[in-house]
A = this chain, B = another copy of it.
Amino acid sequence: MRIGELATKAGVSVRALRYYEEQGLLTAARSSGGQRHYLDDAVDRVYLIQMLYAAGLSSRTILDLLPCVDAKVNTPQSRAMLRAERDRIDRQITQLRQARKRLDEVIALSESPASGCTRADTDAAVA
């Protein structure tokens, strides 16, 4: 498939795919005319990349991790890196939970009929 189709299937922009290639995260065969051609499994690869981006990893880190995911590299260093990133994600989840908890407290307060309700509540809620 060509880049437009992959972009649609993977739910990202064409520009993003070119960027991934530029970062070494995604490779493509080229037609005689220079156009990129991808195999079907490129869709999953893009999903994975997106997932790692969403987890807060940088292009560089993803670039280091992908060979491990592909099971092409498996050294003590690579395993340490994997664990380090997993731990980073764990810490990030912990932070998010804290923030969530904090917001929940505020929400609970704001929804209880106690404390300083600006009374815009009971008034405007029906109107």
| Interface residue ranges, A against B (CB under 8 Å) | 48, 51-52, 54-56, 65, 68-69, 71-76, 78-79, 82-83, 85-86, 89-90, 92-93, 95-100, 102-104, 106-107, 109-111, 115-118, 120-121, 124-125
**Which residues from chain B contact A124 at a C-beta distance below 8 Å?**
75-76
Q: Whole-angstrom distance from the CB of A4 to the nearest CB of chain B?
A: 26
Q: Check B99 against A55 for contact (C-beta < 8 Å).
A: yes
**A-B contacts, 28 listed (Cβ < 8 Å):** A48-B102, A51-B98, A52-B99, A54-B96, A54-B99, A55-B96, A55-B100, A65-B106, A68-B106, A69-B102, A69-B106, A71-B109, A72-B116, A74-B116, A74-B117, A75-B118, A75-B120, A75-B121, A75-B124, A76-B121, A79-B107, A79-B110, A79-B121, A82-B106, A83-B107, A89-B100, A89-B103, A93-B100
CA A52 – CA B56 in complex, angstroms?
16
Contacts A56-B96, A71-B115, A76-B121 supplied; 18 other A-B pairs, CB < 8 Å:
A51-B102, A52-B99, A54-B95, A55-B95, A55-B100, A68-B110, A71-B110, A74-B110, A78-B110, A79-B107, A79-B110, A82-B103, A82-B106, A82-B110, A83-B107, A86-B103, A89-B100, A93-B97
